[in-house]
Every structure is written in C-alpha cells, then in structure tokens.
A and B are shown apart, each in its own frame.
Chain A
Amino acid sequence: MAEETTTLRVARYRPERGPEAYVDEFDVPYREDMVVLDALNYIKDDLDGSLTYRWSCRMGVCGSCGMMVNGVPRLTCSTFLREFHPKPVVVEPLENFPVIRDLVVDITDFLEKLREVKPWVIREEEKRVEDGEYLQTPEEIDRYKQFSMCINCMLCYSACPVYAQDPEFLGPAAIALARRYSLDSRDQGRSQRDEVLGVDTGIWDCTFVGECSVVCPKDVDPAAAIQRTKVDTTTRGMLAAVWPFQGRT
C-alpha cells in the first residue's frame, strides 16, 4: 500500500555554494492534518538535513515561521497541506526581506523600526510599587486590545507593496504597535511616537492597499491602525492650528 505523498518545491539559497538561489523538490508523506511546517520538518529530519528555516511554537503565536506559500505570506504552522493537495506547494522565504540562507530572512530592518516607535508604556513618572497596580477598565483595554495581538510575524511587511518599493517605510506592524501603546490608558508617550509616525516615511507613505490586514494571522488590522492614526494626527494638527489651548500629551 503506497503512502499518499505531496510535493513541496522549496527555495534554497546557500551562500557558501554560490550567489544563485535554486529550487529543490521533495515528496513528503501526506496526511490530512499536516501543515506546511510538518512537511518542512519531515524534509529536515528524513530527506535533507541542511534545509534551514525558522519555527518555534508551531501553534500560531510566536511569529517565527512566516514564509511565502504559493506566493502568499503565511505562517507555515497554520497552513494546511490539504489546502493545496494534490498540487505541489511552493515554499519561499518571506518577501521584501534579504535572505540569509534558504528560508531564513534578515529581519533587522523590522526590529529597528519596531524600536523606533518605542513599543512600551512610557510614563513621566513610574508608579511606586507601594502605590499598587495600574488599573484598567474593560473599555480602556478594548481601545487597544486588537492591536496588541500582533505577534511580529512580518507577514504584513511581505504583503505591503509600499514597503516592497520603499524600504524606508515604517510598515504596518510598527505603526499598529505604536498605536497599541499610544492608546493604552497607562501610556503618556503619544507625542513622542507621533514624531516618529508623522514623517513622510511613516503613516503618510501608506495608501491603504489593505493587504497587510488581509494576510495578518491574528486579525490585528494594521491598515485600520494606520488610517486611524492619520485621522487622529490630522484632527489634532488642525485643532492645534485654530485652538490655542494645547492640551496634555
């Protein structure tokens, strides 16, 4: 009884072997409950131990296993082979990022941009431990919760045509996370983040293509975050031009 198999076409790049990328084809056993990551793990364990790729939690919360599957940025741990079987599955490294090796990309640019938006609660003065915890109502949490679901998987950067052309663009996840913190009731650093966001490589470079939100595996809707930031920034800026009493942050 022959085992059912499916074909994976995996992009390879081994810098020590030369500058050209190439494709390796593998036949992996197929079961209905297998995901692309399972297939990659089978290849590495049984067929070609040199295959290099990132993965960790295998359950869609760590953001490590992002790759292009048939030309679409996906989390390989959450993409079932049955979606494509019996057609071959093409696996390539995440688009718009330099490739280090095989399916591993250099994410430095994203990490630098993430740091730029100061993704932490900024306080003028920290509350002393003796004064107790920061309290938040469910409504206050609602305001930013959606944007806090980001797992930094960078699928949105791969989907964004603006980032593809303009590597200086801050990008969906960074802006969404900036908004997550600026909307946090404990935070007092919105004006600092606005300085980073309000430049022409920040929120203004976005033309609301919306593909970032389409590919996001956690329904963060970064496109909405960016547009809402545009609205907020514009409203505040216009008011500041006509209303002389400047408020708080």
Chain B
Amino acid sequence: MWWLRTKAYRRFAAREATSLFAAAFSLVLLLFLFGLSRGRQAYEGFLRWLERPGTVVLSAVILAAILYHAGTWFRLTSHILVVRLGRLVVPRKVVISGLVALWLLVSGLVLQLYARF
C-alpha cells in the first residue's frame, strides 16, 4: 500500500476518501427527498431518523470529511486558477481566501433559506 508510506501520500489517500462521504450524504439527501415524495408520514419518519444521536454522529463524521474536502479543494484550485493583473499574479493564499469568502457567502445564503423564508 504505497499510499500509507509517507505523510503526504496518507493525506492524499484521506483526501480521495472524502468522496465516499460526499456520496453518502447524497444518499441521505435522496432519502430525505424520497420521504418528502411519499407523504407526511414518511417524511416525518425521516425527520425522526435525523434526530437520532447515531445520525448526528454520522453527520459529524461526514461534515469533517467534507470540510477536509473543501479545504484541500480550495488549495488545489489555487494551483490551477491563475489570476493575472498585468504582470502580477495574485498569490495563492489570496486566491484561497477569496474562495473561502465565497464559501462563507454561499453557506450564509443557504442558511437563510432554511432559517428564514
């Protein structure tokens, strides 16, 4: 298992593994929508599943994985996204900050969607 050999390789393997958790959450969302399509009983049954402590733990694990994905994704994007202003190149840290700012904005908008209509 070459990807266990060095710290960098292990981090790479962890990064790739986050995609499993992304797919897992897609499944959760699908169940959410399926419950919604089946009617009130099914939907509220799903909500009760969401409230279980086991589900919260699972969600925390998924969240940690997806946050690791986001962090590494922004770092990778900063290598690819070259913003040139004449002869100056925007430094990678600034690109990452921009992406994080955008992420905060989007997250805020989604939160508004849920918490206020």
Contacts and interface: CB of A to CB of B under 8 A. Distances in A.
- Please classify how large the interface on chain B is, using the bins under 10, 10 to 19, 20 to 34, 35 or more: 10 to 19
Contacts of A142: 84, 87, 89
A159 to B, nearest CB: 9
Interface string A197-239: 0000000000111110110000001011001100100000000
A228 B80 contact: yes
A228 B2 contact: no
A138 B86 CA distance: 10
A56 to B, nearest CB: 29
Interface in B53-102: 76, 79-80, 82, 84, 86-87, 89
A16 to B, nearest CB: 32
A164 B3 CA distance: 12
- Please classify how large the interface on chain A is, using the bins under 10, 10 to 19, 20 to 34, 35 or more: 10 to 19
Contacts of A161: 2-3, 9
B44 interface: no
B8 interface: yes
Contacts of B86: 139
A171 B2 CA distance: 18
Main secondary structure of the interface of B (DSSP, over half): helix
Nearest to B82: A228
Contacts of A224: 79-80
A234 to B, nearest CB: 12
A167 B17 CA distance: 25
Given A139-B86, A142-B87, A164-B2, A209 B79 contact: no
Nearest to B16: A207
B12 interface: yes
Contacts of B8: 209-211, 214
Given A207-B16, A208-B76, A138 B87 contact: yes
B71 to A, nearest CB: 14
Given A138-B87, A139-B86, A161-B2, A231 B80 contact: yes
Contacts of B3: 161
A142 B3 CA distance: 35
A197 B76 CA distance: 21
A227 B80 CA distance: 6
Contacts of A138: 87
B7 to A, nearest CB: 11
B80 A209 contact: no
A138, A139, A165, A208, most chain B CB atoms within 10 A: A208
Contact of A209 (B12, B84, B89): B12
A165 B12 CA distance: 16
11 contacts: A139-B87, A142-B87, A142-B89, A161-B2, A165-B2, A209-B9, A210-B8, A221-B79, A224-B79, A224-B80, A231-B80
